[in-house]
Amino acid sequence: MATTTLGGGCFWCLEAVYDELNGVTDVVSGYAGGQVTDPTYKQVCSGTTGHAEVVQITFDPAVISFKDILQVFFTIHDPTTLNRQGADVGTQYRSAIFYHSPEQKAIAEQVIAEMTAAGIWDDPLVTEITPLDTFYAAEAYHQDYFANNPFQGYCRVVIAPKVAKFRQKFMDKLKA
């Protein structure tokens, strides 16, 4: 098994998608990249801790590659907006890859270079690539948020369309 940690806006959105990806065995919403030990959601939302909302993904590289994990990542969020995703604004919503190994760093740099060369976006990618220092799991009520709250307003308006886009584009990579 392998692990990676990604930030691309609200962790509920990322978790909802990666939970459905074949080869992914666990997704935990949490916080990374800041300077406060064991931060709370309220602290992270204040934008003063330096943390990003992230998901830590455990996956089987024999089933899905890290490059494929990143292909999904760059499809389900906008990596060209600095410190925001849609209406969510602040450094806690930044686009970030917190790599767990030199190999992950190299693959992330390669994927970003390929996407930049392909001219997929009009604006430059602002995704940070940084080593994971410490991951803090978010409070229990954040785990499996979309699955547990599918009719909540944010889930219906923001998360459900991202999940639908993911399912359409990556139908061949969904769990059975």
Mean pLDDT of the chain: 95
Q: Which of 10, 13, 45, 155 is catalytic?
A: 10
Is residue 23 within 8 Å of residue 59, measured between CB atoms?
yes
Pairing of strands 95-99, 88-89: unpaired
pLDDT of residue 176: 86
pLDDT tens digits, 28-49: 999 999 999 999 999 999 999 9
Tell me which amino acid residue 32 is.
A
Backbone angles phi, psi at 129, to 5 degrees: -120, 115
Residue 6 reports pLDDT greater than 90: yes
Residue 85 reports pLDDT greater than 90: no
Neighbour-count burial of 12, counting CB atoms closer than 10 A to its CB (0-12 exposed, 13-18 middle, 19+ buried)? buried
Question: What CATH number labels 2-173?
Answer: 3.30.1060.10
Helices (H) and strands (E) in the chain — how many of each? 7, 8
Domain map (residue ranges) of the chain: 2-173
**Residues 51, 7: Cα–Cα separation, whole Å:** 10
Mean pLDDT score, 62-83: 95
The answer to whether residue 10 is catalytic is: yes
pLDDT of residue 80: 94
The 3 state secondary structure assigned to 4-63 is: EEEEECCHHHHHHHHCCECCEEEEEEEEECCCCCCCCHHHHHCCCCCCEEEEEEEECCCC
